Chains A and B, each alone.
Chain A
Amino acid sequence: MNYSDVPTYFFLFVGLYFQIFLLVTFFEKEEEKYPELPKGLAYPRVAITVPCFNEEKTLTKTVLSLRALDYPKEKLEILIIDDGSTDNTYAVAQELVRTYPEVKFIHQKNGGKHTAVNLGITSTTADFVACLDADSEVAPNALKIMLPLFADPKVAAVTPAIRVQNPENLIQTVQRTEYNIGIFTKRIFGRLNAIHVTPGPFSVFRREIFSTIGLFKKAHNTEDMEIALRIQSYGYTIENCHKAYVYTVTPPTIKRLHTQRVRWIAGFMKNAIDYRHLFFNKKIGHMATFTLPFATLSILGSLYFIISFLIRFGERIYNSIEKMSVVGFDFNILPRHIFDWFFLDTATSSFIGMLIITITIAIICIGKYFAEGTMKPSRDMLYFLVVYGVIAPFWFSKALYNTALSRKTPWR
């Protein structure tokens, strides 16, 4: 092994360690969580804010799914917070308010999602507040099975299991696989109290914590990450309810996916810098000793492998061009000794790399089981590995670039 191989082996070790940690936690005996709220007991009041900016097409479906929650309507408030929309959102919202008494509407000048959510929080006296993005829908039983997790007074927030709503093309299909992985990892992180983001779609909060920790901040357009880090820094717990399904719409094009992911990754890095005092802080627990360090290393590792791959790919292209310039085009593109085992790459890094990919596929299958009830491998998994392998490098690089140069990452 040369010195130049050290970073490769380091990041492979880190990647494999992360996966083994997840699997060990997965196979540990899980603590029994509280069942759904027993019949006859008082249901706490819940306010659900729906911040929207130009969501005329999806707002109605979102509100209808909230109305379909299996929860007493008199204990439910649905607050549509219009963040200065310029389309027909206002008219759609007004119609919903007229039709359903539990739906309320508040308008504000455009100030960003976090201001809309904060307005919802300060406009209610409910015991719990949730936020549902205006392009998402929630399963009817979600609220009922999330609330019992607040039995422990230290629990400040509960996150759901997010699934992709009706993927319509390849880009959304591969995101469905990614979100299925997320259901698995969130479940594990939840067990460890290592959750570092309370996603916009239907994370439920104990309202009183906001008077202790403060309201949402702009936080580099990733307020859902910042509030989670803040909650953890105050010693609260964030739980995950892996059976509380929320269905979200994902970016339908590579460009919009790229914008979203650059925002997420750059947001994580900037928030990680703001909360750098949490890293390896034993008082915080696994979020500080596991999630934050490994998330940071995964970004650096991804960048390292991207750069290595691009260099090797560039060398191959250069060699091919050089060869063509002296001997012309070679139609035989297959390696000469394709079936000879001697020419197989048997380096340690290749075996570890293959193992990491195999475990990733296993995690995808487990996530699919949690989301869809089946573990059967499908072509979507292959598409996910291939498509993300090609496009993820770009958003990693852009996010790091934006963070390094303190550039703002747009929301859309």
Chain B
Amino acid sequence: MTSYRKYIFVFLITFAIFATAFSVSTHLSNKKAASIKNTEDKISTDILSLETQFELLQEASCKNLKGSTLSEELDFLGEKLDYAESQKEMSSESVMVLKKYYSILQIKDYLLMKKVDQKCDTNPIVILYFYSNRADTCNDCTKQGYVLTELRKNNPGLRIYSFDYDLELSAIKTLISIYGVPHEFPALVANEKAYTGFKSIEDIEKILPELTRTKSTATASSTPLKK
């Protein structure tokens, strides 16, 4: 093969390999996005089913109300979203759409949990966690995430819902305004009160003393913690 032809031939082969790898990667990213979407749709259906069940059983005993099993699914979904966001394989737009849907599902689960609590006096322990992904606005968010993950691991009765403060979602903005969450991060809402700045495990146990009482309780939910 003459010299310049060989260079062009090799370039074409290399380009073809790159194009194939890119196609495979794109296909797998789309499958991952579809997997997240399917999970979200399933969770949405499950939430709707639970809400309907709740409506049907208004006069029924609390024993008939099945406990929410959504928390583990939401947990796993959150981990997948977190991974997808960090790996940058999916486009940021599609990740944002999935993230918004996930945030709405969390809020619906939160509202459903509150309704069940009102009816059945379940007294769930809840933390709403607000973080920001923007550079230099939340240097302690990673640390806060580790603390909340550890708390959830040691307290199966604890429910943690995490929200990206900067996500353009009216439901999150309503939640922020209801609890008066300021633009300082990390921010936690516990017992209807907002707290800002990094909170260690001990700090949170002081805010929620019931945590130490429920350490041994099984079941109940958790949602994944982001930075």
* Binding between chains A and B: yes
Q: How far is the CA of A28 from the CA of B3 in the complex (A)?
A: 13
A290: nearest residue on chain B (CB-CB)? B7
Q: When chains A and B are docked, how far (Å) is the Cα of A323 from the Cα of B3?
A: 56
A322-B79 CB under 8 A given contacts A24-B13, A348-B18:
no
Q: Which B6-38 residues sit within 8 Å CB-CB of chain A?
A: 6-7, 9-11, 13-14, 17-18, 21-22, 24-25, 28-29, 32, 35
In the bound complex, do residue A28 and residue B7 qualify as a contact, i.e. CB atoms below 8 Å apart?
no
Query: By the criterion CB–CB under 8 Å, are B6 and A21 in contact?
Result: yes
- A337 in contact with B79 (CB, 8 Å): yes
Contact call A326/B200, Cβ cutoff below 8 A: yes
What is the CA–CA distance of A336 and B89 in the complex, to the nearest angstrom? 20
Known: A2-B88, A24-B6, A24-B13. A346 touches B143 (CB 8 A): no
CA distance A327 to B88 in the complex (A): 28
Asked whether any CB of chain A lies closer than 8 Å to the CB of B169, the reply is no
Q: Which chain B residues border A348 with CB–CB below 8 Å?
A: 18, 21-22, 25
Note all chain B residues with C-beta closer than 8 A to A13.
14, 18
Whether B83 is near chain A, meaning CB under 8 Å from some CB there, is: yes
Q: Tell me if A271 is interfacial: C-beta within 8 Å of chain B.
A: no
A297 part of interface (Cβ distance < 8 Å): no
Taking a contact as CB atoms under 8 Å apart, the answer to whether A17 and B25 are in contact is no
B7, A355: Cβ atoms under 8 Å? no
- Whether the Cβ atoms of A351 and B13 lie closer than 8 Å is no
Q: Is the CB of A327 within 8 A of B25?
A: no
User: Is there a chain B Cβ closer than 8 Å to A166's Cβ?
Assistant: no
Q: What is the predominant secondary structure among interface residues of chain A facing chain B?
A: helix
Does A319 touch B at the CB level, under 8 Å? yes
Contact of A346 among B14, B17, B29 (CB under 8 A): B29
Asked if A106 is at the interface (CB within 8 A of a chain B CB), the reply is no
* Residues of the A chain whose Cβ atoms lie less than 8 Å from the Cβ of B146: 322-323, 326-327
**Residue B80 at the chain A interface, CB threshold 8 Å:** yes
Q: A2-B88, A322-B142 are in contact. Are A20 and B14 (CB under 8 A)?
A: yes
- A289–B17 touching, CB < 8 Å: no
Among A289, A319, A336, point to the contact of B79 (Cβ < 8 A): A336
CB-based contact A342/B25 at 8 Å: no
- Given the complex of chains A and B, what is the CA–CA distance between A350 and B201 in angstroms? 38
> Can you name the residue of chain A whose Cβ is closest to the Cβ of B143?
A326
Q: State whether the Cβ of B150 lies closer than 8 Å to any Cβ in chain A.
A: yes
Please tell me which one of the listed residues B17, B29, B143, B147 contacts residue A355 in the complex, with CB atoms under 8 A apart: B17
Measured CA separation A20–B8 after assembly (Å): 12
B21 touches A355 (CB 8 A): yes
Instruction: Judge if A331 is at the interface, Cβ distance under 8 Å.
Output: no
* Bound complex: CA A167 to CA B9 (Å): 40
Contacts of B79 in A (CB 8 A): 336-337
Q: Cβ of B170 < 8 Å from any Cβ of A?
A: no
Question: What does the 1/0 interface line of B174-210 toward A look like (CB < 8 Å)?
Answer: 0000000000000000000000000011000000000
| A352 interfacial contact with B, CB 8 Å | yes
The answer to whether A347 has its CB under 8 Å from any CB of chain B is yes
- Specify which chain B residues have a CB less than 8 angstroms from the CB of A336 in the assembled complex: 79
In the complex, A289 Cα to B5 Cα: how many Å?
A: 13
Contacts of B21 in A (CB 8 A): 348, 351-352, 355
CA–CA, A325 and B140, complex, Å: 12
Cβ-based interface call for B87 (8 A): yes
Output the nearest chain B residue to A24 by Cβ-Cβ distance.
B10
**Which residues 218-270 of A have a CB within 8 angstroms of B?**
none
- List chain B residues, Cβ under 8 A from A286: 3
CA distance A319 to B88 in the complex (A): 19
Smallest Cβ-Cβ distance to B227: which chain A residue:
A319
Asked whether B80 lies within 8 Å of A289 as measured between CB atoms, the reply is no
* CA of A286 to CA of B6, assembled, Å: 11
Q: Is the CB of B25 within 8 A of A20?
A: no
With both beta carbons as reference points, the residue of chain B lying nearest to A21 in the complex is identified as: B10
* Of the residues B1, B3, B83, contact of A343 by C-beta under 8 Å: B83
Q: Complex: how many Å from CA A337 to CA B89?
A: 18
Q: How far is the CA of A54 from the CA of B83 in the complex (A)?
A: 59
Query: What CA separation (Å) do A217 and B71 show in the bound complex?
Result: 74
A355: min CB distance to chain B, Å:
7
Question: Are A346 and B28 closer than 8 Å at their CB atoms?
Answer: yes
Which of chain B's residues have a CB closer than 8 A to the CB of A347?
25, 87-89
Q: A13-B18, A327-B201 are in contact. Are A289 and B10 (CB under 8 A)?
A: no
User: Assuming the A-B contacts A348-B25, A351-B21, are A20 and B10 also in contact, with contact meaning beta carbons closer than 8 angstroms in the complex?
Assistant: yes
Chain A residues contacting B22 (CB-CB under 8 Å) are 348
Which residues in A have their C-beta under 8 angstroms from that of B11?
17
In the complex, per-residue mask of B139-174: 1 if CB is within 8 Å of any chain A CB, else 0: 000110011011000000000000000000000000
B89 / chain A contacts, CB cutoff of 8 Å: 346-347
State the CA gap A342–B21 with chains docked (Å): 17
List 10 tightest A-B contacts by C-beta distance, closest first: A351-B21, A346-B28, A327-B150, A348-B25, A323-B146, A17-B14, A348-B22, A21-B10, A348-B21, A20-B10
Question: A16-B14, A327-B147, A352-B17 provided; 16 other pairs, C-beta below 8 A?
Answer: A20-B10, A20-B13, A24-B6, A24-B9, A289-B3, A319-B142, A322-B142, A326-B146, A326-B201, A327-B149, A336-B79, A346-B25, A347-B89, A351-B21, A351-B24, A355-B21
Chain A residues at the B interface, C-beta cutoff of 8 Å = 2, 9, 13, 16-17, 20-21, 24-25, 28, 285-286, 289, 319, 322-323, 325-327, 336-337, 342-343, 345-348, 350-352, 355
A and B contact pairs by CB, cutoff 8 A, 21 listed: A13-B14, A17-B10, A20-B10, A20-B14, A20-B17, A21-B10, A25-B6, A286-B3, A319-B142, A322-B146, A323-B143, A326-B200, A342-B83, A343-B80, A346-B25, A347-B87, A347-B88, A348-B21, A348-B25, A352-B17, A355-B17
